[in-house]
Amino acid sequence: MKNFFFGSIFGVLILVGLIAMCLCSCLLLMFASLQNLGTGNQYDFMQPLYSYSKGNPESENKILLIKVEGAILTQRPSDPLSALLASDVVYGYDIKQQFIDASTDDSIKGIILYVNSPGGTITGAKAIQDGISYYKDTTGRSVVGVGSGLVASGGYWAISTADTIYLDPGSTIGSIGVIFGPITRYRNVVSNQEVMTTDGITEEYITSGKGKDIGNPYRDLSTEERQILQKSVDNAYDDFVKLISTSRGISEDTIRNQIAAHIYDDRQALDFKLIDKIMNIDDAYLDFAETLNIEDYQIITQEKELGFFESLLGVSAKSADILKVDTICSSLNNSLVIEETYLQACK
């Protein structure tokens, strides 16, 4: 009986079937690669595809819904496998491109930026901000923000330049601040989990250039290094404060000394003018349509083009956006980050 599986006809058929599936997958991969080589840059000229979300599907008045859900990173990894495993993240330059694409479509009457994000990289958040500015300057049309859940740090940076900011009741918003780190320092080390000594363990880097080994956990930061890092954080914070002050009409002094980097509920956020209206998502959509003088409309979203691996494995467009914690930490490494949640997870 122990050789039944491989010795029986049934076992042989299953083995042959598995081999055939592997061969087919390899052939499909080769075909896709050859197809890409032959087509050149044809995708650069393709218009984005949009799908119906809600409202009247027959309406010619379209409102584009762009979603920012999860940590905001900068750019999608070029490695297709990493992109396949990615989730709970969004890439700032992808969102910016959606604004650019929408600027060429006259059927889109305005854009709703939906944000539920704890923050992320400054570069990614600023890319979204740049996308909003490009769309408004190019088309003269409106962009509103709808916050739901948590809209913090880079999430608030991204939504702050919208013409109107709605916040879903019970949501929280804020965290106007910048954080860098953590910078680990080991003292009096006697074990690295593999070797234990009586006199402790030291670690050395052979470097050229003062400060090249900044962040070495076996030594303290120098005064100069600490000042340089603090200046970088201060510069980023200055930019953040100026952006919020300009876009929301709040004095810089109020932002720095009253609002600070705290997170607020909907009513406190309204009092501080961090938002314009407390309104659930559906009512926010309706209110935006009314400001556009549109009674009949449909909400649309841009479809994500699935790559070869996603199509082959049957991965949905949404599930292809998940990123493991270690990949998030790698992406945030050595970057100015504006949300402590992810720094704590990366310790």
Do the domain assignments include residue 209? no
Domain with 104, as residue range(s), is 47-181+250-345
Domain assignment of residue 199, yes or no: no
Let me know if residue 237 belongs to a domain. no
Residue 319 and residue 87 in contact, taking contact as beta carbons nearer than 8 Å: yes
List the beta bridge partners of residue 289: none
Residue 219: inside a domain, yes or no?
A: no
The region of weakest confidence among 95-99, 178-182, 270-274 is 178-182
In a domain, 210, yes or no: no
CATH number at residue 110: 3.90.226.10
10 pLDDT tier (thresholds 50, 70, 90): low
The total of structural domains in the chain comes to 1
Average pLDDT over residues 186-201: 80
Question: Please, what sign has the CA dihedral across residues 250, 253, 257, 258?
Answer: negative
Does 153 score more than 90 pLDDT? yes
| DSSP assignment of 72-137 | EESS--SSHHHHHT-BBEEEHHHHHHHHHHHTT-TTEEEEEEEEEE--BBHHHHHHHHHHHHHHHH
Look at residue 58 and tell me if it is in a domain: yes
The pLDDT, as a whole number, for residue 98 is 97
pLDDT for residue 1 is more than 60: no
Across the range 310-324, mean pLDDT stands at 42
Residue 217: predicted pLDDT: 83
Most distant pair of Cα atoms in the chain: their distance: 81
Residue 227 resides in a domain: no
Specify if 36 maps to a domain.
Answer: no
